[in-house]
Chains A and B, each alone.
Chain A
């Protein structure tokens, strides 16, 4: 399992990685050509008074040298100050949290379900690899995966929402929300189609990995040993193959869960879902730097946290990994 000193050191490294991440993010974002004024405001109106432009730069500290801006940024971050959005003039953190919670409505159930379905189907398919059922499922998955997500999303809207009218065309709630307030059932009704689609995408990815992992495990000598003991196929699968095949999945699935934080641009665009994916593309187009920095900071935090969690989890599942053993 885990040696305490090692864990502390690991957390220290994670902190260092986090700082490297936000430093690179900060400089790349600030080195992007164009800014909020030139990219966005000028496209709306050609006559912005020079005083207003100067005031904007001064207000957000953009007139200072980049190094100084960076130091101010780091100091603010350490104090929990994530800054204000250029576009909305609102604090960044609550904005991100609000959009994120909408993204999670779709992504959390979709990723969890997708991982489970992918692993179960992949294990089944890998265990019967080469058989007719396995090949059928494998080819279905290839076709599904080969066509981009947004095409499936558009088709789903077209068939299930437009033609069959089982689901709404988009959005996260009905117009009745203005009278009766937000209704969880109404939101769920709007979320079902995007959840189903997202679940299928996540499931296909995990299906491939689990299938390959299972095929590799089946060829191992200890599976033959297990059969030679007289175990039936079910026991060989459950007791000997499954846990070994799951080991490589731990890292990948942990990252997928962490990746929820970035939302899904395609799904959110097609379904007009007010999630963090849309917020990100929007902020990028507007050069809304504080908002982008906030989103990427959260992403860095989650990814680094996921790496740590994956290592700890793996060390509990795999006795050969003893974190801290030299």
Chain B
């Protein structure tokens, strides 16, 4: 059953220099119990996608399309409705744990905040709840640590705190934006293991540029390029048999495959070529590719790909 159904979602930013399109007609369905990864390089619009579902984009963003969740369209919901969704129904694990926690509040206060806001949990119950959360995320001496401030923790610990904050109200969907950015390899492996355990029977939208993180956590993966989805499928299939040349390029560029870079750079927002957006960098481009923009097509039983070769 689909928990969140995003269809035709486009985002544009209005600036002094005109309107800049960032997301283009995104369709993505997340079913209950699925972990969907959204992968792509920096600047392709992954984070904007998460923020537009949460309705946390700045005021100069123009969002069209729909994001249906529990019978309503989040894009049309008013601010008060969204405040009831954020943190309670859909929670976010923000990018960059070093800056995502308020430096002047204790972590206990910050974890308790969504609970006081969305539940009737108060006083001793609240205290116990926070301790239980910290313990379940592997933070030792929770009684003592909840009195501390963010700067007193290491990057890995802060990441655990952010995860605890997101899990506090037991939300239906968790949006995790680069949950392992800025961590060293060992800590990253620990956080990934922890996320895999806690996300096992939860619904997750994982936003990442790291293929390893995606394959470790996600049941399904969507590949984004220049603001549109170019390929979608079950993670294992997608990584074993990548269909789109861009996905193939991404996998070939990963360290284990020998660091083969994709030639060229991705187009700046609003300056996409006519035809297929990936065409100028594609090694197997055909004549048609520079004129016809492919649509996202179903191939096989559960794969989707945006490439003329599969038409």
| Chain A residues in the interface with B (C-beta under 8 A) | 220-222, 224-232, 239-240, 243-244, 247, 317-320
**Alpha-carbon gap, A171 to B96, bound state (A):** 60
Given contacts A228-B92, A229-B113, A230-B118, contact A320 B102 (CB under 8 A): no
State the Cβ distance, B14 to closest chain A Cβ, in Å.
12
Given contacts A244-B103, A318-B103, contact A229 B87 (CB under 8 A): yes
**Alpha-carbon gap, A227 to B118, bound state (A):** 13
**Alpha-carbon gap, A318 to B103, bound state (A):** 8
Given contacts A221-B95, A320-B149, contact A230 B85 (CB under 8 A): yes
Given contacts A230-B87, A231-B117, contact A225 B149 (CB under 8 A): no
- Does B286 lie at the interface of the complex (its beta carbon under 8 Å from any beta carbon of A)? no
- Does B151 lie at the interface of the complex (its beta carbon under 8 Å from any beta carbon of A)? yes
CB contacts (< 8 Å) of A225 on chain B: these are: 92, 94, 100-102, 162, 165
The DSSP consensus for interface residues of chain A is: helix
B75-90 CB contacts (< 8 Å) to partner A:
79-80, 82-88
CB contacts (< 8 Å) of B83 on chain A: these are: 230-232
Whether the Cβ atoms of B104 and A319 lie closer than 8 Å is yes
CB contacts (< 8 Å) of A318 on chain B: these are: 103-104
State the Cβ distance, A220 to closest chain B Cβ, in Å.
6
Whether the Cβ atoms of A224 and B94 lie closer than 8 Å is yes
Whether the Cβ atoms of A228 and B117 lie closer than 8 Å is no
State the Cβ distance, A240 to closest chain B Cβ, in Å.
5
Whether the Cβ atoms of B165 and A229 lie closer than 8 Å is yes
Q: Of B80, B104, B105, which one neighbours A317 at CB under 8 angstroms?
A: B104
CB contacts (< 8 Å) of B101 on chain A: these are: 222, 225
Whether the Cβ atoms of B86 and A228 lie closer than 8 Å is yes
- Does B56 lie at the interface of the complex (its beta carbon under 8 Å from any beta carbon of A)? yes
Whether the Cβ atoms of B151 and A319 lie closer than 8 Å is yes
Whether the Cβ atoms of A229 and B54 lie closer than 8 Å is no
9 closest A-B pairs (Cβ-Cβ)? A230-B87, A230-B86, A229-B87, A221-B99, A319-B149, A228-B92, A222-B102, A221-B100, A229-B114
CB contacts (< 8 Å) of B94 on chain A: these are: 221, 224-225, 228
CB contacts (< 8 Å) of B56 on chain A: these are: 224, 227-228
Whether the Cβ atoms of A226 and B151 lie closer than 8 Å is no
Whether the Cβ atoms of B88 and A230 lie closer than 8 Å is yes
Query: Can you offer 8 A-B residue contacts whose CB atoms are under 8 A?
Result: A224-B94, A224-B100, A229-B87, A230-B84, A230-B87, A230-B88, A231-B117, A232-B83
CB contacts (< 8 Å) of A319 on chain B: these are: 103-104, 149, 151
Whether the Cβ atoms of A243 and B87 lie closer than 8 Å is no
Whether the Cβ atoms of A222 and B91 lie closer than 8 Å is no
Given contacts A230-B88, A232-B83, contact A222 B54 (CB under 8 A): no
CB contacts (< 8 Å) of B96 on chain A: these are: 221
Q: Of B99, B103, B114, B151, which one neighbours A230 at CB under 8 angstroms?
A: B114
State the Cβ distance, B70 to closest chain A Cβ, in Å.
15
CB contacts (< 8 Å) of A221 on chain B: these are: 94-96, 99-100
**Alpha-carbon gap, A317 to B105, bound state (A):** 10
Given contacts A319-B149, A320-B149, A320-B151, contact A227 B102 (CB under 8 A): no
CB contacts (< 8 Å) of A226 on chain B: these are: 102, 113
B94-125 CB contacts (< 8 Å) to partner A:
94-96, 99-105, 113-114, 117-118
**Alpha-carbon gap, A319 to B99, bound state (A):** 15
Look across to chain A and name the residue whose beta carbon is closest to the beta carbon of B175.
Answer: A228
Look across to chain A and name the residue whose beta carbon is closest to the beta carbon of B149.
Answer: A319
Whether the Cβ atoms of B114 and A222 lie closer than 8 Å is no
Look across to chain B and name the residue whose beta carbon is closest to the beta carbon of A319.
Answer: B149
CB contacts (< 8 Å) of B87 on chain A: these are: 228-231
**Alpha-carbon gap, A221 to B162, bound state (A):** 12
**Alpha-carbon gap, A240 to B100, bound state (A):** 12
Q: A226-B102, A240-B105 are in contact. List 15 more A-B contacts (CB 8 A).
A: A221-B95, A222-B101, A224-B56, A225-B94, A226-B113, A229-B87, A229-B113, A229-B117, A229-B165, A230-B86, A230-B87, A230-B88, A231-B113, A231-B117, A318-B103
